[in-house]
Amino acid sequence: MATTVQRPGGAYVQRSSSGGLYEVIDVILDKGLVIDVFLRVSLVGIELLTVDARIVIASVDTYLRFAEAVNRLEITGTEQSEGLPQLMQDMTEGGAGNKTRGVLEGAKESLFGSSDDDGDSREGSRSRAGSDRRSK
Amino acid sequence: MSAQAKPKYVYGVVPKAASLPRGTGIRRSRLHAIEDGELAAIVSDAPEGEIQAGREELLTHARVLERARDRGVVLPMRFGVVMPDEDAVRHELLEGYRDELLLQMRELEGKAELRLRAVYDQDALMKEIVKAHSDIAGLSAALRDRPADAMYYERIELGQKVAAAIEQAAIVDLSAILDALEPLAVAAQVEEPDHEHVAANVSFLVEEAQIPAFDAAVDELGRQNDGRLRFKYTGPLPPYSFVELPAQD
């Protein structure tokens, strides 16, 4: 059974109906009515997501990555001749989208992505290889 | 053990008159309703022990509530609420919180949750930042072509400036998104960004009749930000972000 139904619509926005679990996992686990004493959730597998999400908060590693991203960019950025439409095309066609996908997004995709094999999914999020999986 | 004495997994609360959603609950258990006064809880017998927050389980929870929403107003429970037996559901949930539940049911009738997440395209964002901040452009030019292990502290300084610039950009983009969409919504709840390239992560409560207009406004935002922001738009959902029980001791 498909977990995500793409709604027809503009090409600029990725839409999902409510059936898409990947989009609603945050709400299901964090929101909704709750009586704390009756909460019986085993978060095995889920805690990985939480840990990963916190890793991205400001750290030296983050700063070095940002610096690298800017430096890498500067080389093409000084070539003023590159028009904006061309840039946009590069971005949508190029592999940059895969590399820049966030850690959490990648992990979530591993857990709820196309694979039906739970063991495989968990392994994916542990190694934080979610973004790589996408490019396969 | 009789059915009444079995632990119950609770999906949500609906008006007593509402019909049960079709389909089964977690572990393919039968859905049934527990009623009290004007309210009913949608439940199924719960498996022993804790509820694994696995893919199937989460999906089932979402699906049951989605189908309930198709039939009218539903107050969704968070994933994983298990009450010891039918009496506990009746007394500690439906009776214990009757006033709050009825009030929220009235407020949420005919409304849906729509979630919008806007994530920067990293390259587009970095280009904007370099253009807008001459100090970043200068520092980057000075560092370029140096070996990766040289100028370590300068690299960190550059990264910090970039991080600050991203934060600034996100403030601007979030407020533009809210300006465009809040007038079409009953309420909006801004979530903390869950990673560094998130410009906005917002849940909106929207009247069903306003959803087409809201869709169009989201599309327009997508057009305006094509290439720099990727939008993920989800819904209509049960109003997960707009229900609440008072804090318990």
The answer to whether A74 contacts B235, with C-beta atoms less than 8 Å apart, is no
The answer to whether B160 contacts A63, with C-beta atoms less than 8 Å apart, is yes
The answer to whether B122 contacts A118, with C-beta atoms less than 8 Å apart, is no
The predicted-structure confidence for B120-164, as pLDDT tens digits, reads as follows: 999 999 999 999 999 999 999 888 877 767 788 899 999 999 999
Q: Please indicate whether residue B53 or residue A122 has the higher confidence score (pLDDT).
A: B53
Closest CA to B190 of B172, B214, B174, B210: B174
Give residue A63's pLDDT.
Answer: 86
Which ranges constitute the DSSP H helices of chain B?
Answer: 55-70, 86-88, 98-108, 122-132, 134-143, 152-181, 211-224
The answer to whether B50 contacts A40, with C-beta atoms less than 8 Å apart, is yes
How long, in residues, is chain A? 136
Which of A63, A100, A118 shows the shortest C-beta gap to B122? A100
In this complex, is the C-beta atom of B58 within 8 Å of any C-beta atom belonging to chain A?
Answer: yes
DSSP string, B61-118: HHHHHHHHHHTS--EEBPTTBEESSHHHIIIIIIITTHHHHHHHHHHHTTEEEEEEEE
In this complex, is the C-beta atom of A41 within 8 Å of any C-beta atom belonging to chain B?
Answer: yes
Give residue A18's pLDDT.
Answer: 58
Interface of A with B in 56-85 (CB under 8 A): 56, 58, 60, 62-71, 73-75, 77
Least confident interval from A31-35, A126-130, B19-23, B194-198:
A126-130
Residue A117 burial by CB count (10 A; 0-12/13-18/19+): exposed, middle or buried? Answer: exposed
Residue type, B192: E
User: What are the residues facing B76 on neighbouring strands?
Assistant: B12
Q: pLDDT below 50 — which residues of chain A?
A: 1-9, 47-48, 50-56, 77-136
Which of A43, A69, A102 shows the shortest C-beta gap to B53? A43
Predicted confidence band of residue B197 (pLDDT cuts 50, 70, 90):
confident
Give residue B15's pLDDT.
Answer: 97
Rounded Cα–Cα distance for residues A117 and A122 (Å): 9
Q: CA-nearest residue of chain A to B160?
A: A63
Helix (H, G, I), strand (E, B) or coil at B243: coil
In this complex, is the C-beta atom of A46 within 8 Å of any C-beta atom belonging to chain B?
Answer: yes
Per CB-CB distance under 8 Å, the chain A contacts of B246 are: none
CA distance A98 to chain B (A): 10
Rounded Cα–Cα distance for residues B219 and B214 (Å): 9
Which of B76, B79, B195 shows the shortest C-beta gap to A104? B195
Interface of B with A in 144-163 (CB under 8 A): 144, 155-156, 158-160, 162-163
In this complex, is the C-beta atom of B248 within 8 Å of any C-beta atom belonging to chain A?
Answer: yes
Give residue B103's pLDDT.
Answer: 97
The predicted-structure confidence for B201-230, as pLDDT tens digits, reads as follows: 999 999 999 999 999 999 999 999 999 999
Residue type, B69: R
Closest CA to B117 of B67, B181, B185, B165: B181
Rounded Cα–Cα distance for residues A109 and B232 (Å): 14
CA distance B175 to chain A (A): 18
Cis ω on the peptide bond leading into residue B15 (within 30° of 0)? no
Give residue B146's pLDDT.
Answer: 76
Which ranges constitute the DSSP H helices of A16-113?
Answer: 21-30, 47-55, 60-77, 84-93, 96-99, 103-112
The predicted-structure confidence for B77-108, as pLDDT tens digits, reads as follows: 999 999 999 999 999 999 999 999 999 999 99
Per CB-CB distance under 8 Å, the chain B contacts of A93 are: none
Give residue B65's pLDDT.
Answer: 95
In this complex, is the C-beta atom of A49 within 8 Å of any C-beta atom belonging to chain B?
Answer: no
